[in-house]
Amino acid sequence: MGADDMGHAAAAPIAFGDLSVVVAGISVSYRSEVSREDNTSDRGIRRFANALGLMSYGNVDALTDVSFEVRQGEHLGIVGPNGSGKSTLLRVIAGVEPPAAGRVLASTTPILLGVNAALLPQLTGARNVRLGLLALGFTPHEVTDLMPDVIQLAGLGDAIHRPMNTYSAGMGARLRFAIAASARPDILLIDEALGTGDAAFEARSRRMIDDLRGGAGTIFFVSHAAQTIERMCTRAIWLHGGRMILDGEAVPVARAYRWWAHNVAQENPAVAEGLLEKALDGKPVVP
């Protein structure tokens, strides 16, 4: 078995199935209040400024004409900086946020991690597992059978018997992932879930995802960690400012994004802008 220059074992080719999700010309914009004088969060000041005509409103483009197709068995990573439209894209695909233009076609109902499970913060983790599984359509008997596996996947230990309002954000995300994955959806949308746990949780999650992929499931995975996209995805999309910069095999796309992010972190804006232009023109980004 060969390996690439980063030490990754060469993966066997994966045979993908029929079309699973079609994203066609999706655009999303938000109406945002903007102060011309002072961008303040104080309601009284904002009302006063509005009365004086100092407040204005404008549209913020979250996504602009995004199109791609995904097949059964593909594991699509979505990378990009904060505000690039990654989470908005998942919400549109899940059908919980309508686009301003375009449409999404899916072979089955996509399940967005944390949205389909109606969890209550005042209840314990264990009771929320039961509630979440019922919300996903399982019968009470099926819920009883599934609960031990869900609790094991979440890996919260004794905290599963504490109210969710005592959990950290990461613990809550792990529980939601475990509940959503238990539904064995054909299309699973994961937003930053696997970056919230320890190595053991990531290993369990990867086994679950591999199992879902083995059943010809389609997985969308949003992450700021490009290296995670390299390890866990077959394909990746790089979003920036609501526009699609690159779409291709996971490793080269994730590496291109990492090189761009490195130059941003090193305060080389001219270099970073040049890399974006190269990517849009289909030219190599990584030196």
| Model pTM score | 0.72
Q: How far apart are CA 81 and CA 241, in angstroms?
A: 9
For residues 25-52, give the mean pLDDT. 64
Residue 57 has which token pair? 């409103």
Is residue 267 predicted with pLDDT exceeding 70? Answer: yes
Between 141 and 287, name the one with better pLDDT: 141
pLDDT digits (tens, 9 = 90+) for 52-85: 555 566 678 899 999 999 998 899 999 999 889 9
Give the per-residue pLDDT at 198: 64
Using pLDDT thresholds of 50, 70 and 90, give the confidence band for residue 145.
Answer: very high
Average pLDDT, the chain: 82
Q: Where are the domains of the chain?
A: 69-280
d(CA 28, CA 81): 17
Percent of the chain's residues with pLDDT above 70: 76
Answer whether residue 160 shows pLDDT above 60: yes
Strands 19-35 and 55-71: antiparallel
Which has the higher per-residue pLDDT, 270 or 169? 270
Residues 201, 102: Cα–Cα separation, whole Å: 37
Give the model's confidence band at 4: pLDDT under 50 very low, under 70 low, under 90 confident, else very high: very low
CATH superfamily for domain 69-280:
P-loop containing nucleotide triphosphate hydrolases (3.40.50.300)
Mean pLDDT of 119-147: 92
Beta bridge partners of 103: 24
Q: What is the pLDDT of residues 228-260, one digit of tens each?
A: 889 888 999 999 999 999 999 999 999 999 999
Are the beta carbons of 280 and 245 closer than 8 angstroms?
yes
Q: Strand 55-71's sheet: what is its strand order?
A: 55-71, 19-35, 101-106
Residue 107 contacts by C-beta under 8 Å, 6 or more apart in sequence? 18, 19, 20, 21, 72, 186, 187
pLDDT at 3: 42
Q: Which of 2-16, 25-39, 119-133, 251-265 has the lowest mean pLDDT?
A: 2-16
At 53 the pLDDT is 56
Confidence of residue 47 (pLDDT cuts 50, 70, 90): low
